[in-house]
Amino acid sequence: MQDAVAPIAPAMARGAGPHPKRLVESAGEAGLAGILTSPEYGGAGGTHRDFIEFIEAVARADASSAVILDVHLSVGTEPLIVFGNADQKSRYLPKLASGEWLAAFALTEPAGGSDALALQTKADRDGDAYVLNGSKAFITSAGDADLYIVMARTESGTRGVSAFLVEGAWPGVSAGVPLAKMGLHGSWTAELVLQGVRVPAANRLGDEGFGFTVAMSALDSGRVGISAQAVGIAQGALDAAVGVARSRRDAGLDVDRTTLADMEMRTAAARELTRHAASLVDAGQRVTLDASIAKLYATDTCVAVAQAAVDLCAPDSCADDHPAAVRFRDAKACQIYEGTNQIQRVVIARHVLNG
Amino acid sequence: MDVRLNEEQIAIRDTVRDIAREKIAPRAADIDRTGEFPWDIVELYRKHDLFALPFPSEYGGLSGSALTLNVAIEEIAKVCATSALILAVQALGGYALMIAGTDEQKARLLPDLASGAKLCAYALSEPGAGSDPAGMVTRADRHGDEYVITGSKIWITAGGVADTITVFAKTDTTQRARGVSAFVIEDARHLKGFTATTIHGKLGIRGSNTAELHFDEVVVPAANRIGEEGDGFRIAMKVLDRSRPGVASQALGIAQGALDYAVGYAKERKQFGKAIAEFQGIQFMVADMEAQTAAARAMVYMASQLIDDKSPDVGHFAAIAKLLAADTAMKVTTDAVQILGGYGYVNEYPVERMMRDAKITQIYEGTSQIQRVVIARDLLGS
């Protein structure tokens, strides 16, 4: 997969690359679009350790490709694996696992970021279906995805949120123009608008009011994936810095060994925290605390390492498309999405205080 | 050390603050998006006589006070790092003359810089000589009453728009630092053998003109050599003592602008039924941003006052100011993006631009690594 991604990575980083769908198609051709899906549904039957190794490898080359694939494999597919019934799984998992379909996850709204459960998108029951109305913000792959896992409100209150499988081609589903972001230029991030979208009751994931559980479970696992993306970004930045450092050393010039050592240490630690969290998921254990710790540490690390890499590769790294500059811009998103690092601290502190 | 702004400095600060808010702030996003050099900002500075700030009054300037200049740079940088740099580099391009020029050179060349009639630039760095300027290879060969300059310079701010450029070149290629001499070239835009190629696609300060300069046997009269042959490196080091606090002020302004924006947002944005300003996570972040910015300002003011006092300790504290302010700008802008969350990551809001702009302040005018080398050497010896 490293070979499949590497040639398209530079194009993706400049926002001029293939559609996210085409990336997932090529992943599918390599048998990598359904790593966590069982062979029964066309997947590779892999572990979370396999998954993070893949995401880190992709992210090392290109963070945009990594987030598209991470969202597809993790928050876009896992809720279906964990909470879907046999009918839902057989209808959708094979298409996602083959890479024929691209998956996305729609929770965040303009007024509901960290306070995700303040969401206002409504799902009104109408006979055998629900009618969805509302809009979601900052949705990765919005506009290109074939399947969205959408959280919408069937009743008021935190227990009034339900999860739905919404097909991108259905009437009433539309996306805004992709946002102009600081980084991750190869990933589409846009508003997802739902106007009178009829969703069959058979596409509700779990019971009414189960959406909260789906979202929290998705985030726990999703955080492990983002940790891997962050480790890959850090490693890619470190690669660039080490290359320059070796050239300087060979030319008899000074090298900032202090910073280099710190970059290596933090990246290695981030990787181990990520592996640990993935192992817990594979063992079927509760991962909320460890996933949160990994996400916080790995994403703070990738920002620090990418920023340091720009220093060590200066002045060439002042060019916007230099590998260190690209990672400098890409890394920051990791501290924000999938639960800001301030929320991660709330989660961790809660565990520490409650015992 | 107690540094206070006098009445005149406060008046200038307030005037520049108003100009920045009313005329420069509305242009900042477009300057970044288009990457076009903002000639309208140059015109604005000419109109309001802001280019006079770095220069002494006998040459058409104001007082030449570093503190006054740096306060102005900070005010502008709060809203637009590129625009602040235009003012800072007009000072940088004149410093070698101010420090080591003859009265004749100063009288001939400085007034046009003080009025802004001519823009100036400072050409020290080369492709093979960044942190190690004594390793430069650009040569200046003496032929009678003239020097012939051959070589290249890179990453030169305003190199593609300036008329008057301070250039460092080796008059003795067998030496390192002692072989460097300083020159000023005039009318660069029409100078035979001189080409400037603008470097596009920068990470930040996108509207700033940054250029690669080529000197193909460019003739410079001996009357345009600054100081004696071999004085160049010493002059360059003295220039850095003055210019580092200028860049530090730019970094300080970037930090303060980002902090102000993030604080405003935190008070307005509501989650979980209250403003995010009420959450400890945000409060502690803001407190650290404020403390670091205030500390950086104290060092910038101190270094600026030491310049105005002609203190021998300038170099040490200029390096500290530059290190602290630049690292602070990077941290504060990164945290400002964080406070704005998803909105901080998109270009409809200014903080992602501020974060990209902050990075260069850790790199130019001596990398943060070099500042550490300088500071440590002052204490530990080399």
Q: Which whole number is the average pLDDT over B72-85?
A: 98
Q: What is the pLDDT of residue A19?
A: 76
Contact A315 B155 (CB under 8 A): yes
Residues 12-71 of A with CB under 8 A from B: none
CB contacts < 8 A, A to B, total: 104
The domain tally of chain B equals 3
Span of A1-5, A252-256, B93-97, B377-381 with lowest mean pLDDT: A1-5
Two structure tokens written together for A133: 């109305």
CATH number at residue B132: 2.40.110.10
Average pLDDT value for residue range B274-298: 97
Q: Is A233 buried (19+), middle (13-18) or exposed (0-12) by CB count in 10 A?
A: buried
Q: Of B94, B115, B136, which residue sits at a domain end?
A: B115
Split at pLDDT 50, 70, 90, the class of A27 is confident
Identity of the residue in A113, A335, A345 whose CB atom sits nearest the CB atom of B281:
A345
Go through A132-160 and write b for each residue having 16 or more CB atoms within 10 A of its CB, e for each that does not: bbbbbbbbbbbbbbbbbbbbbbbeeeeeb
Characterize B292-318 residue by residue with b for buried, 16 or more Cβ atoms within 10 angstroms of its Cβ, and e for exposed.
Answer: bbeebbebbbbbbbbbbeeeeebbbbb
The residue written with tokens 């030449």 in the block is B64
- Percent of chain B past pLDDT 70, that is, above it, reads 100
- Six-digit token string for A16: 């001029």
The answer on B205 and B252 residing in a single domain is: no
Asked if residue A125 lies in contact with residue A153, where contact means CB atoms within 8 angstroms, the answer is: no
| A262 — pLDDT class (breaks 50, 70, 90) | very high
Domain segments of chain A: what residues? 2-97, 103-208, 212-354
Q: How confident is the model at residue A1 (pLDDT cuts 50, 70, 90)?
A: very low
Whether this prediction's pTM lies above 0.90 is answered by yes
Closest chain B residue to the Cα of A319, Cα to Cα: B202
**Residue range(s) defining the domain that contains residue B41:** 7-115
- A2 and chain B in contact, CB less than 8 A: no
Chain A contact for B337 (CB, 8 A cutoff): yes
* Residue that terminates a domain, selected from B230, B250, B285: B230
Identify the closest residue of chain A to B154 by CA–CA distance: A315
Does residue B155 sit at the A interface (CB-CB below 8 Å)? yes
* Stretch A64-92: mean pLDDT: 96
Domain identity same for B357 and B239: yes
In a domain, B1, yes or no: no
> What ipTM score was computed for the predicted complex, to two decimals?
0.91
Same domain flag for B99 and B81: yes
Check residue A157 and give its pLDDT. 85
Whole-number pLDDT of residue A118: 92
Q: Do both B297 and B263 map to the same domain? A: yes
Q: Which residue of B has its CA nearest to A304?
A: B331
**The pLDDT value given to residue A11:** 44
Distance CA B287, CA B282 (A): 9
Instruction: Answer yes or no: CATH 2.40.110.10 is held by domain A103-208.
Output: yes
Same domain, B238 and B366: yes
A202 Cβ under 8 Å from any chain B Cβ? no
- Closest approach of B230 to chain A, Cα-based (Å): 24
Q: How many Cα atoms sit within 13 Å of A129 on the Cβ side? A: 8
pLDDT of residue B134: 94
In this predicted structure, what is the pLDDT of residue A334?
A: 98
Does the annotation mark A167 as catalytic?
no
Helix (H, G, I), strand (E, B) or coil at A282: helix
Query: What single letter denotes the amino acid at residue B115?
Result: S
Find which of B359, B361, B365 to mutate to test the A interface (most A CBs within 10 Å of its CB).
B359
Closest C-alpha among A51, A38, A43, A40 to residue A1: A51
Largest CA distance in chain B: 79
Min distance A50 CA to chain B CA atoms (Å): 29
Do B176 and B240 belong to one domain?
A: no
Using the Cα atoms of residue A117, residue A118, residue A122 and residue A124 in order, give the sign of their dihedral.
Answer: positive
Interface of B with A in 251-280 (CB under 8 A): 270-272, 276, 279
B125 touches chain A (CB under 8 A): yes
Nearest to A301 by CA among A256, A235, A202: A235
Encode pLDDT of A127-178 as tens digits.
999 999 999 999 999 999 999 999 999 999 878 999 999 999 999 999 999 9
Assigned token pair, A57: 């490898």
Mutation for testing the A interface, residue in B85, B132, B345, B368 having most A CBs under 10 Å: B345
Q: Residue B322's Cα: distance from chain center in Å?
A: 11
Q: Is B283 on the interface with A (CB under 8 A)?
A: no
User: Could you tell me which residues are beta bridge partners of residue A126?
Assistant: A129
- pLDDT value at residue B280: 96
Write down which residue in B63, B92, B115 finishes a domain: B115
Angle between helices B66-77 and B280-308 (to 10 degrees): 150
Q: How far is B235 from chain A (nearest CA, A)?
A: 23
Token digits of residue B335 = 């945290």
Q: What is the mean pLDDT of chain B?
A: 97
Q: How confident is the model at residue A22 (pLDDT cuts 50, 70, 90)?
A: confident
CATH for A2-97, among 3.30.1490.190, 3.40.50.1480, 1.10.540.10, 2.60.15.10?
A: 1.10.540.10
Q: Could you tell me if residue B15 is inside a domain?
A: yes
pLDDT at A14 over 80: no
Mean pLDDT of chain A: 94
Q: How many CB atoms neighbour CB B217 within 10 A?
A: 11
Q: What is the pLDDT, as a whole number, of residue A2?
A: 55
Nearest CA-CA distance, residue B114 and chain A, Å = 30
Query: Touching check for A163 and chain B: CB below 8 Å?
Result: no
Tokens 């006054």 -> residue: B68
Instruction: Report yes or no on B2 lying in a domain.
Output: no
CATH of A212-354, one of 3.60.20.10, 3.40.50.2300, 1.20.140.10, 3.40.50.1000: 1.20.140.10
pLDDT at position B215 is 98
CB contacts, 8 Å: B272 with chain A? 114-115, 118
User: Which chain A residues are within 8 Å of B337, Cβ to Cβ?
Assistant: 182, 332, 336
Which one is catalytic: A56, A78, A191, A338? A338
CATH number of residue B244's parent domain: 1.20.140.10
Residues B197-217 have pLDDT tens digits of 999 999 999 999 999 999 999
